[in-house]
Structure 1
Amino acid sequence: MKQTWMIYGANGYTGALIARTAVERGLKPILAGRNSGEIQSLATELNLEGRVFSLEKSTQIESGLIGVDLVLHCAGPFSITSAPMIEACLTVGAHYFDITGEIGVFEHAHEQDKRAVEAGIVICSGVGFDVIPTDCVALKLKELLPNATHLSLGFESDSGISPGTFKTMIQGLSSASSERLEGIITEFPLGKKHRTINFGRGPKTAMAIPWGDVSTAFYTTGIPNISTWIPMPAYKIIGARSLKWMRPILSNSFVQAILREWVDRSISGPDEKVRQNSRAYIWGEAINATGESQTVRIETANVYSLTVFGALAVVSRVLNTDIAGGSYTPASLFGAELIEELPGSGTFQFFL
């Protein structure tokens, strides 16, 4: 049976990349968003249906989703936009996917599991670089070390940054870092925790960050202690610590608005040349109660290219597979090998 799917936020940097690649593959998503001019322009260019609606009222969203079987939600910041879209998908019976990396969004999605089961829909946040590669590494480590009690995940990339990601980072400047301790998500000052990690290009100083796997990896593996890391020079780690004194200023709505406007004027996202010439290096480490450890690394395509490949792979599989309703992570849907099957990905490398 032919099924209809939608990209909401298709006029954004990543949404447009996904839309163009979908058309190249012979797919015909509906393009949607709240910016009428940009949505209709892109829909005309790609010869696709365009729909314009905002996420401010539930009735508007539900009307916008008439006849839609699956939504790929690409309009951030997801901490604001995800919940109303999930609610509408539950109401109309459409599968929900997004490309977020925000811990709070993952937790909210997981909390809808029972409702998703009852509605017969799949809810799965993080079907892009956030968090497909790290989620798959987490599951692979669980398979290699089933009694692991501690899990660390991280990545290194020179992929550049999109406007949407930059805005999410700005929003996060007023927040602390996070990890999961004995199953509970716990905050601590950004820059407080650091270590040396070889992500795949030699040992580097790394800093703990509030990455989405603090949420998702727990539901994928059941491992109770989880931390997430990126490479960071020592002087920048020291600078990150100073942000705690600026959090009251950075959380001010006026300051946030000014910073978002600056992003709109100044950030366009990495071009095709940058995407083609940059790679991502994913790392994970699991340790059990006796100190036995296992390390996994894998090299993948550029952050944004992987998001395009990952999102389309998951959407295509769900539209062509009978999957029971519920809340899932990418790896719990399609296994650890999902990342190896995406264009530009290498294979898992194992280290004791």
Structure 2
Amino acid sequence: MNNKQILIYGAYGYTGELIARKAVARGLKPILSGRSAVKLQPLANELGLSAIAVGLDDEEVLARTLKDVAVVIHCAGPFSATAEPMMRACIKSGTHYQDITGEMAVYQQAHAMDAEAKAAGVVLCPGTGFDVIPTDCLAAALHKAMTSATHLTLGFDSDSGLSPGTAKTSIESLGVGGAVRRNGKIEVIPHGGLTRTINFGRGEKFAVAIPWGDVATAYYSTEIPNIEVYVPMSPRRAKKMQRLNRFRWLLRMQWVQKWLKSKVDKNVQGPTENQRAEQKTWVWGEVRNDRRGERRVGRVVTANGYDVTVHGSLAVMEFLLDYEGKGGYFTPSKLCGHQLVEKLPGSGAIKIGID
């Protein structure tokens, strides 16, 4: 691709702005975009960048906007509503697509669009942030260490707070439940339905299974048929999660979702730069082949989730600017290799052993 222009859509959101500022600090000149010109222009003026306000409801207009763009970094959620129209516009315009979602449905949608993307020579790579670069890369490394694995368990431990976008994504899952993959199929499980004790890297902790994106993506990366993802949680909070199960029908209702998300807008702010600098993330994974009695454990320490998202998005973008391979759907590890996470600022090396 001769054109090196990039576009950041949703640039005035918490993470979109972080990515835009870091891109400028690296000497790049991205186009800033989003639905609101009023929100876009102040940031564009401050950073000395071009800004284009465009909605996602007209695929033709959006595709024309992208016709001279090599890569889109899509940062505007909820991705369950915004990812598909942006991916379709990218396929039509010949623009590589990446986003920062953690929503499982988006990974499934991108995977379903693999043939269209291949035909257009366009890469679709959702999840180029904390969701799901560290866990996806660790999963790929563990699979390389045990290609016969039948079970994959992943997890992470972090003190990082939520951004508004991440909090809203979490709200969307309240009415659905948890999720795991069993025998190759995704199954919905009750909130708090699976628990275990895990040493993520700083001592053993009680942990609960969550519907993290790797339930989809790690399967695409490894083809391991049984996958679970855990985060540490107090037993008391886990019991509160379990009580939510009786209200899932209510939490799915649109007016309840809208009300809860309005609370996020009023009360949730992303962590400050100083807060992010003090926060690390401990990522853990386990592969097993119970028939053979084999087990391997892997760990990697990264920067906080938001810095991983910023640096990870830009690393994948730079990879795509020089990419000459085939189009289609990719996970981060399938596109850039499992070493991607080790190259990000604040990350250590992946370490794999028997414990």
TM-score normalised per structure 1: 0.98
* Structure 2 match to 1:115: 116
Partner of 2:319: 317
Shift of 1:64: 2.7
> What's 1:179 paired with?
180
Q: CA deviation at 1:290?
A: 1.5
List aligned pairs for 1:1-352, cutoff 5 A: 1-288=2-289, 289-352=291-354
Once residues 302 and 67 of structure 2 are traced to their aligned partners in structure 1, the CA distance between those partners, rounded to angstroms, is 36
Distance (whole Å) between structure 2 residues aligned to residue 260 and residue 188 of structure 1: 24
Q: CA deviation at 1:57?
A: 2.2
Per the alignment, in what secondary structure is the counterpart of residue 204 of structure 1?
A: strand
1:302 shift after superposition: 0.7
- Give the C-alpha shift of residue 282 in structure 1: 0.3
Distance 2:67 2:320 in 1: 19
Instruction: Give yes or no for contact 2:67–2:95 (8 Å, CA) kept in 1.
Output: no
8 Å contact kept, 2:59–2:89? yes
Give the AA of the match of 1:124: C
8 Å CA contact 1:129–1:307 kept in 2: the answer is yes
CA distance, structure 2, for counterparts of residue 210 and residue 51 of structure 1: 35
Contact 2:64 2:93 (8 Å CA) reproduced: no
Name structure 2 gaps, 5 residues minimum.
Answer: none
Q: Please report how far the alpha carbon of residue 205 of structure 1 lies from its aligned counterpart in structure 2 after TM superposition.
A: 0.4
Distance 1:158 1:103, change over 3 A: same
In 2, Cα distance between the equivalents of 1:129 and 1:75? 16
Aligned-residue RMSD, C-alpha: 1.0
Shift of 1:89: 0.8
Q: Deviations over 1:63-108 (max 9, x none)?
A: 3323112111000111111011111111111111001111111011
**Alignment partners' CA distance in 2, 1:67 and 1:219:** 31
Give runs of ≥4 in structure 1 deviating > 3 Å: none
**1:303: how far off?**
0.4
Corresponding residue SS for 1:165: helix
Structure 1 counterpart of 2:295, one-letter code: S
CA distance in 2 between counterparts of 1:219 and 1:247 reads 29
For 1:256 and 1:115, how far apart are their aligned partners in 2?
Answer: 33
Report deviation, 1:345.
0.3
Q: Which amino acid aligns with 2:12?
A: N
Give the deviation of 1:348 after TM superposition: 1.4
Q: Supply the AA of the counterpart residue of 2:159.
A: D
So what's the TM-score if we normalise by structure 2? 0.97
Unmatched runs of 5 consecutive residues or more in structure 1? none
% identity of equivalent residues: 48
Deviations 1:217-270 (A, max 9, x none): 011011111111100111111111111111122112112111111111111210
Partner of 2:266: helix, strand, or coil? helix
Which deviations, in whole Å up to 9, do the C-alpha atoms of 1:262-298 show, x marking residues without a partner? 1111112100011000000100000013220000001
